[in-house]
Structure 1
């Protein structure tokens, strides 16, 4: 099986390459804007450098996709959050370029990395299935973009019924190697990450709607592999238990929950984002407060998928990665270099949180 992975050097892409290396009958081809070094999970692969948001991306990708059995689209930008046009260019127009190229090349399967962010606001004490309304949370650009890309896939499914289209909708994806990357994307250079090495957070903001789901990157990679091997279509929710809420986090990190109303969380995020103190705008807080919890029964019944690690274990691994400034120097997105935007070295060079590209 010949599989092309677009966005193969990030959090999920790196985990998927690790998983596919154990499958001798699968040939993986990597596509990324910034190519990795020929080491670790990236070694020995055929690589192509493509900016999916560029005007000539559909033509470039069509040639790369020729002869492929499947295309897995993982390309997505979280930052720079202060450049909405850049994010739309990569996330929406870039996804459209991947989809068009897959159709032109006549691939058999198109697998897209969607997210819990595609869902409309929903319950925090019940679980929604894949049929839940997919209008996103309007205040979040991330959520709006996920909803837009899924609408494109709806049209493709309708117009091309012979193409197998699959969407994976994971919760928060954690692994140690992504520690520095996730810290850059969501916390910024002022986070005292070294203090996390004791696994202790003295105070944790608590809100009754701050209930989220996580999953280890290796388990997400296993879900992608199962999708590639099975004759399935449609969407699959992917998440591990338990739900990560203030009580679970307080017990895990020996902290004290401090009640904070939602408007205060949003206001603090908005002000600190405007002042370029951290890279997360209020839309991310609104998404965290409104995104529903997902039922993963379909993945279990049709893919035989079950997480090998629970969400707390995955989160502990991520926090350890943050504290140890973990990353992969052979992957540009996972690089832990201090000069990166969102790191203190980048700040000293004038690269403020939420600005600058590449991130």
Structure 2
């Protein structure tokens, strides 16, 4: 008998990796829920699809019908753009999590696996390892971090008031990379007129020498999620690969010379360029990069029998190869758009930081 899973955000970065992982394992019937439905090609043929924006007012009701006989719901859907429309991002992230949780409860789903993030953690241990008991208060200046923290608070409230309700697991990975996500990451993080392969000609990397961040490959995140479903595991799980990535590692990957520029000087430059619509990342992402802790993964190793198959360097190299070769997938979320296409879309529909559909 197959295990029926419903995956929100199933056509995105982690969702695509998870589809591969479940298909390889066999024994799963998958329903993918996404705002932009992928074509029935490649790995996306392995799932049935329901098109739904979790920010819609009727999302809870519509999700209930999708989750009717699901054994597990894996909630991956999240918004990264438009960064100028925080109300919509919160409606997708926090409101969407609320809708998924309510629908899963009403539908009697046995397990909910929620994709949280290192971004849910509070400041105070930068460059040091924390386990899952560290505060999930988030980083106040980061809209992404605030929303991840608020989503976890929803889960906390539910667990406190529903002792016999849905079993909840929370995955807290570091920054997730893979080759086939390069197309999507290019749109969300680089100016529309920049071709990612041009980064190899960057002569210097002006960045604070203190930088140290947790990195993990999407395939390793997918493996942890699959193991969580297989074991019907509950609770939070930190996920990262070793060693932590430092500024000089990024410079080496780009073939650039590292130059120390304090984050306090970088922040106004990022803020001003974002406000001037020269690039799509606001200063909250920089704050988070220089604030979040490293992740102790002992619980995932002991409870799930999990260990990352790729080092952080291998994960970065895989993403770098994707940038150089314009890697993407058939999914609209991960599809590659070159500079000309991106600029024309900005002129027609507005910049990615402001329009509803990135």
Which is worse superposed, 331-340 or 214-223? 331-340
Rate the CA distance shift 1:347–1:51 in 2: closer, same or farther, 3 A.
closer
Which is worse superposed, 143-152 or 174-183? 174-183
Alignment correspondent of 1:3: 5
* 3-state SS of paired residue (2:181): helix
Alignment correspondent of 1:357: 356
Rate the CA distance shift 1:42–1:192 in 2: closer, same or farther, 3 A.
closer
User: Where in structure 1 are there 5+ consecutive unaligned residues?
Assistant: none
Whether the 8 Å contact between 2:209 and 2:261 is mirrored in structure 1 is no
Shift, 1:86, TM fit: 1.0
Whether the 8 Å contact between 1:122 and 1:293 is mirrored in structure 2 is no
Alignment correspondent of 2:122: 120
Name the CA distance, whole Å, in 2 between partners of 1:119 and 1:340: 38
Alignment correspondent of 2:86: 84
Name the CA distance, whole Å, in 1 between partners of 2:106 and 2:151: 18
Whether the 8 Å contact between 1:66 and 1:105 is mirrored in structure 2 is yes
Name the CA distance, whole Å, in 2 between partners of 1:143 and 1:200: 32
Deviations, residues 228-251 of structure 1 (Å, cap 9, x unaligned): 011421100001011111122233
* 3-state SS of paired residue (1:21): helix
Of 180, 188, 194, which aligns to 1:177? 180
Rate the CA distance shift 1:350–1:275 in 2: closer, same or farther, 3 A.
farther
Shift, 1:124, TM fit: 3.1
Whether the 8 Å contact between 1:276 and 1:353 is mirrored in structure 2 is no
Deviations, residues 24-43 of structure 1 (Å, cap 9, x unaligned): 21111111111110011110
* 3-state SS of paired residue (2:119): helix
TM-score of the pair, normalised by structure 2: 0.95
TM-score of the pair, normalised by structure 1: 0.95
Alignment correspondent of 1:20: 22
* 3-state SS of paired residue (1:2): strand
Of 140, 156, 169, which aligns to 2:142? 140
User: Where in structure 2 are there 5+ consecutive unaligned residues?
Assistant: none
Name the CA distance, whole Å, in 2 between partners of 1:340 and 1:128: 43
Shift, 1:319, TM fit: 1.7
Deviations, residues 146-192 of structure 1 (Å, cap 9, x unaligned): 00000000111122223210000011111111102111111221334
* 3-state SS of paired residue (1:112): strand
Alignment correspondent of 1:33: 35
Name the CA distance, whole Å, in 2 between partners of 1:350 and 1:228: 40
Name the CA distance, whole Å, in 2 between partners of 1:25 and 1:192: 41
The number of equivalent residue pairs is 355
Residues 234-273 of structure 1 mapped to structure 2, 5 A cutoff: 234-273=235-274
Alignment correspondent of 1:322: 323
